[in-house]
Structure 1
């Protein structure tokens, strides 16, 4: 591979924003890709994947390059040189790469790779939490898998097409996919491609949604004609899936504390041909109290650490703090206590997170069931999904039923 100066500059600019200004990697990369209209698919892929790679391995590369935060541009070029050397890419004769110790880089990599927190490039505290909650064997496998690039998974919008028809439509557009066993609506891309520019996407035939995430709506056991509340709907990935399972019949109340996210859901719902969703901003306790004892099904896709989706959000591990984990556990129990009251007798509730930590998952459900609010509920089943066993995102979901 030959390095091109303008592409490398884009990567360095992006890393400056992500590491030194705390910007979100996905937003930075979106901006970078608009920088030069002449860039082809390969150029754009280089900028996106190289930026994500260096973000993912920040700690390891910084240790090898012997640089410390905040990184100046020279530091970032040194980290870039580490990335290129480890990828086997010949460094061009640019001033940024003068006296790069190629042999030393490989030796340092071999040496540091013996230590898990450096090999997997994670903060000490995350390594400690994972070790404490999952044990050495499971945590070692899981955090290694979380450092692999995630597959692109599509969820067929069954309101408009079938999985088989969608596969054929995408094939005609040069995009190859395969079915995933145990996932009724999922298609996995065999090679990465920009699916958002396809007519199939613009016409609402699919959404991009990881295979693990697609299991949540199925777990909720919805039927056409029900009243369903999605309490932490966000931009609505699971809301739209629920709507398709309900065949657009019945009512879905999609709630969130962020109005901006619900506005995105509104746009997505229109594209998907979904018209049984009512949007509600949670700006006080009123919208919640109005729904007490009214819902056949309630989904709590709870805010969490996101330690099950680091493959998609590698910068999250650098933004997370131990204090946030403590606060989010309190929030998770609060939403369980409050939102569970929307479930009517004999109705069902799903509590879900994209975390792999028991303290955010089964422990929260156990605490809830022992509480006064939880005495009316019984646990029907739960599912723990790990990236290292499933190949998809780490997730947790628990199905609870309110007694009659």
Structure 2
């Protein structure tokens, strides 16, 4: 592989913003890709994948390069040199890459690879917490899986087409996919591609949604004609799936505290042909109170640590702090207490997270059932999805039923 100066500089600029300015990796990479309209798909792939790789392995590469944060530009080039050397890429004769100690890099890699916190490039506190919650053996397997690149998974929008019809549409646009056993509407790309530029996407034939995430709406057991509340809807991936499962019949009330996310949901719903979604911003407590006792089904896709989706958000490892996880557990408990009141008698509620920590999942549900707010509920089913077992994102979902 021949390295091109403008592409490498784009990577360095993105890394500077992500590491030293605490910017989000996906947004900085998107910004970097717009710098030169002449760049082709290979150039863009190089920038995105190289940036994500260095973000993912930051601790390991920094240890090998013997540099510390905040990273100066020369130090970021040292991280890049480690990345390139470990991939057998010949370094060009640039002043920024002079005197790269190739042999020492490989030696240090072999040495550090024996220790999990360096090998998997994770903060000490996270390694300790995950061992306490999952056990050493399970955590070792899980973090190795979470450090692999996530596949691109699509969910066929059954309001517009079947999974088979979508597969054919994409094939005609030179995008090959395959189905996965156990996932009704999922297609996985054989090779990474910009699916957002396809005619199939513009028509609303699919959404990009991880296979594990696709199980959540199905777990809620909705039927056409029901009244459903998606309490933490965000930009609406699961609301859109619910609309398809309900065949556009009945009503989905999508709530969120962020109005801009709900605006994005409206835009996506229009493209998807989902007409039974109504959005409401939670700007006062009255918004939720008005819904008490009115819903057949309630989805609580709760805010969480996001540790189950590190493959697609590797920068979360570095942004997360122990204090945040303590706070998010309190928020989850408050949300369960408040939003569970929306459900009717004999209704069903799903509590879901994209976390792998039992303290955000099983223990959170158990504590709810033992509180006054959960005394009328019973746990009827739950799924614990770990990345090393499924090959997809880590997820948790619990199905609770409200008794008379």
Shorter-chain TM-score above 0.5: yes
1:158-237 map, 5 Å: 158-237=158-237
Q: Report the TM-score, using the length of structure 1 for normalisation.
A: 1.00
**Deviation per CA, 1:215-259, whole angstroms, max 9, x where unpaired?**
000000000000000000000000000000000000000000000
Number of the residue aligned with 1:276? 276
Counterpart Cα distance in 2 of 1:348 and 1:88: 54
* SS in structure 1 of the partner of residue 398 of structure 2: strand
* SS in structure 1 of the partner of residue 78 of structure 2: helix
Counterpart Cα distance in 1 of 2:346 and 2:324: 35
* SS in structure 1 of the partner of residue 284 of structure 2: coil
1:98-113 map, 5 Å: 98-113=98-113
Counterpart Cα distance in 2 of 1:172 and 1:195: 13
* SS in structure 2 of the partner of residue 347 of structure 1: strand
Counterpart Cα distance in 2 of 1:235 and 1:87: 37
Matched, 1:341 2:341: yes
Shift of residue 153, structure 1, vs aligned partner: 0.1
Number of the residue aligned with 1:38? 38
Number of the residue aligned with 1:376? 376
* SS in structure 1 of the partner of residue 308 of structure 2: coil
**Deviation per CA, 1:306-344, whole angstroms, max 9, x where unpaired?**
000000000011000000000000000000000000000
Number of the residue aligned with 1:292? 292
Number of the residue aligned with 1:81? 81
Number of the residue aligned with 2:259? 259
**Deviation per CA, 1:267-295, whole angstroms, max 9, x where unpaired?**
00000001111101011110111010100
Counterpart Cα distance in 2 of 1:322 and 1:375: 31
Q: How many residues align?
A: 404
Number of the residue aligned with 1:307? 307
Shift of residue 15, structure 1, vs aligned partner: 0.3
* SS in structure 1 of the partner of residue 229 of structure 2: strand
Counterpart Cα distance in 1 of 2:298 and 2:287: 14
Q: Report the TM-score, using the length of structure 2 for normalisation.
A: 1.00
* SS in structure 2 of the partner of residue 308 of structure 1: helix
Counterpart Cα distance in 1 of 2:122 and 2:102: 24
Number of the residue aligned with 2:392? 392
Number of the residue aligned with 2:18? 18
Unaligned runs of 5+ in 1: none
Counterpart Cα distance in 2 of 1:98 and 1:27: 31
**Deviation per CA, 1:358-386, whole angstroms, max 9, x where unpaired?**
00000000000000011100000100000
Counterpart Cα distance in 2 of 1:21 and 1:199: 37
Shift of residue 97, structure 1, vs aligned partner: 1.2
Counterpart Cα distance in 1 of 2:390 and 2:132: 22
Counterpart Cα distance in 2 of 1:178 and 1:127: 35
Number of the residue aligned with 1:358? 358
Runs of 4+ in 1 over 4 A off after TM superposition: none
Number of the residue aligned with 1:153? 153
Please provide the CA RMSD for this pair. 0.4
Number of the residue aligned with 1:118? 118
Number of the residue aligned with 1:330? 330
Number of the residue aligned with 2:61? 61
Counterpart Cα distance in 1 of 2:387 and 2:402: 31
Counterpart Cα distance in 1 of 2:165 and 2:224: 23
* SS in structure 1 of the partner of residue 317 of structure 2: helix
Shift of residue 96, structure 1, vs aligned partner: 1.1
Counterpart Cα distance in 2 of 1:190 and 1:389: 21
Counterpart Cα distance in 1 of 2:233 and 2:377: 23
Number of the residue aligned with 2:241? 241
* SS in structure 1 of the partner of residue 154 of structure 2: strand
Number of the residue aligned with 2:5? 5
Counterpart Cα distance in 1 of 2:92 and 2:315: 28
Counterpart Cα distance in 2 of 1:133 and 1:239: 31
* SS in structure 2 of the partner of residue 381 of structure 1: strand
